Amino acid sequence: MREVGHFIGGKQVSGQSGRTTEFFQPMTGEVIGRVALASKDELRQAVENAKAAQPAWAATNPQRRARVMMKFLELIAQETDSLAEMLAREHGKTIPDAKGDIQRGVEVAEFACGIPHLLKGEFTEGAGPGIDMYSIRQPLGVVAGITPFNFPAMIPLWKLSPAIACGNAFILKPSERDPGVPMRLAELMMEAGLPAGILNVVNGDKEVVDAILDDPDIKAVGFVGSSPIAQYVYSRATTNGKRAQCFGGAKNHMIIMPDADLDQAADALIGAGYGSAGERCMAVSVAVPVGKATADALMDKLIPRVESLKVGPSTDPSADFGPLVTKAHMEKVRSYVDLGVQEGAKLVVDGRNFKMQGYENGFYMGGCLFDEVTPEMRIYKEEIFGPVLSVVRAKNYDEALRLPSDHEYGNGVAIYTRDGDAARDFASKVNVGMVGINVPIPVPLAYYTFGGWKASGFGDLNQHGPDAIRFYTKTKTVTSRWPSGIKEGAEFSIPTMK
């Protein structure tokens, strides 16, 4: 059985708190390791290492910091297969999906390699008589990220890459459910030439999360997880004077207009709704066909597709999706399907009792499809985070627009249509942070920013792209004048540029 500790001061260290938790191989249900749960003292040890190392790293010129990131990317490329196998073994997603997890994280690290350009400030010559003005971006110091189980490579890379490239030291608190990949990424960073102490990985539970939020030397915290915890992290962090960007749950809708290509829309719903067993914050969990004819035709296409989904172990290259991450989460998703039936939704495909031959103890569940779901139902209001798609029928376009706009969550939304006017109107009016037009999962590329609205996001700045550089730096503005030829004497009125 594997024992996973922490990564502090440039090396793996054993846990000292005496507390551990088990983690599993979801496709078999077996316990494969124990991960240490850090104490407040262990978190403080990581902070002290980071605080000592950060000034020299900040003083390293941005081009040299970028070279470390480039070497890091080279090492990840060499180990993509082994990283994907580890990720799939601990999380349950298929190997191809695990590689996609890594790739979307790599793209943000690639963006961070442009840090010499991204950190450039502004300059105005002759802002006043003999006066020049310029701005510079400087790192915050020690910053932290608290990341979820569903993307154990991508989200840590989204957080640590821009933070470290900007000259900060970073403390990562990954999910204790799949700790292997974050620990290996820290080792690869060291191999790439990162100084010891600049990246620390501290595993743990609420005790270490609270220690991060309360530690006076941690200047900023990024979080991804459920909305209640995102709001908790944001409130406690900001109360303690920290910057915070916290991203929560989602209920992503896909609007299917009468003129849409229904085969294309149905395929998009299957991939976006059931990929990674629905354990994605950008998964489409609500389909909104407009008009009865559209809804009936869409259901005719969806039902056989959902019934034919291939669920399999993570190592099966032909599987559409694998098991859920834990037995407890599987039971929670099943309970939502039970609830939907009780609420009166029509369960047209029932995957609750799926069993994988040869893997009877794995955390598997087949795809579930509900029709005639209404906005009053809990299965519509709440995030299920599993392979469950709900169809909410809309009478017209205006009703379809209102559904995602009025929902508590506002992460992502998509519309399928051939009508450019309808698509443009929808993109302009919908009250959601990320919009796809004939794109089912509108995750922006690394040089744009990622972030939802309403209960899906807390904080003023989003993840990756230009917002990440703003989040992990502070702006200093310098007004400069040299004394040659300047009239002496005190001035008592406020300076102006007359």
Q: Where are the domains of the chain?
A: 2-248+456-478, 252-437
Summarised one tens digit per residue, pLDDT across range 342-368 is: 999 999 999 999 999 999 999 999 999
Six-digit token pair at 339? Answer: 């609830």
Say if residue 43's pLDDT is above 80. Answer: yes
**How many other CB atoms are there within 10 angstroms of residue 489's CB atom?**
5
pLDDT value of position 183: 98
Residue 130 has pLDDT above 90, yes or no: no
How does DSSP assign 313-375, residue by residue? -TT-TT-SB---S-HHHHHHHHHHHHHHHHHT-EEEE--TT---TT-TTS-----EEEES--T
- The confidence band for 1, taking pLDDT boundaries of 50, 70 and 90, is confident
Domain 252-437 has CATH 3.40.309.10: yes
CA distance 252 to 432: 9
Q: In Å, what is the CA distance from 365 to each residue of 253, 305, 312, 362, 448?
A: 22, 16, 10, 9, 35
Query: What would be the CATH architecture of the domain defined by 2-248+456-478?
Result: 3-Layer(aba) Sandwich (3.40)
Cβ atoms 213, 242 nearer than 8 A:
yes
HSE value, Cβ hemisphere, 13 Å, CA-based, for 373: 29
Query: Which residues, in sequence order, are bridge partners of residue 7?
Result: 12, 201
Q: What's the pLDDT score for residue 482?
A: 87
- Report the candidate in 438, 484, 492, 444 with the shortest Cα–Cα distance to residue 468: 444
The total of other beta-carbon atoms located within 10 Å of residue 355's CB is: 13
Q: Which residues make Cβ contacts (< 8 Å) with residue 70, sequence separation at least 6?
A: 113
Burial class (CB in 10 A: 0-12, 13-18, 19+), 406: exposed
pLDDT at 23 over 90: yes
Domains 2-248+456-478 and 252-437 share a fold: no
The pLDDT score that the predictor gives to residue 485 is 60
Sign of CA dihedral 176, 388, 456, 425: positive
Catalytic residue among 166, 246, 281, 368: 281
pLDDT value, residue 492: 79
- Whether the predicted pLDDT of 486 surpasses 70: no
In this structure, what token pair is assigned to residue 277? Answer: 């067993």
pLDDT in tens, 201-223: 999 999 999 999 999 999 999 99
Per-residue pLDDT, averaged over 62-84, amounts to 98
- pLDDT of the residue at 129: 87
30: which strand partners? 25
- What integer is the mean pLDDT of 389-393? 98
Beta pairing, strands 409-410 & 453-454: antiparallel
| Mean pLDDT of all residues belonging to the chain | 97
Assess whether 281 carries a catalytic annotation.
yes
Q: What confidence category does residue 305 fall into, taking pLDDT thresholds of 50, 70 and 90?
A: very high
pLDDT at 494: 83
pLDDT at 334 over 90: yes
Burial of 195 (0-12, 13-18, 19+ CB in 10 A): middle
* Strand ranges in 37-164 using DSSP code E only, listed in sequence order: 123-128, 131-139, 142-146
Q: Mean pLDDT over residues 221-227, rounded?
A: 98
What integer pLDDT is reported at residue 490 of this predicted model? 77
Share of the chain above pLDDT 70, in %: 99
Q: Is the pLDDT of residue 315 over 70?
A: yes
Enter the tokens of residue 142.
């020690």
Per-residue pLDDT band for 29 (boundaries 50, 70, 90) equals very high
Q: What confidence score (pLDDT) does residue 489 get?
A: 74
Is residue 301 a contact partner of residue 406, using CB atoms and an 8 Å limit?
Answer: no
Give residue 263's pLDDT.
98
State the pLDDT at residue 498.
Answer: 64
Segment 418-454, tens digit of pLDDT: 999 999 999 999 999 999 999 999 999 999 999 999 9
Dihedral sign from CA coordinates of 286, 291, 296, 300: negative
Q: What are phi and psi of 249, to 5 degrees?
A: -80, -175
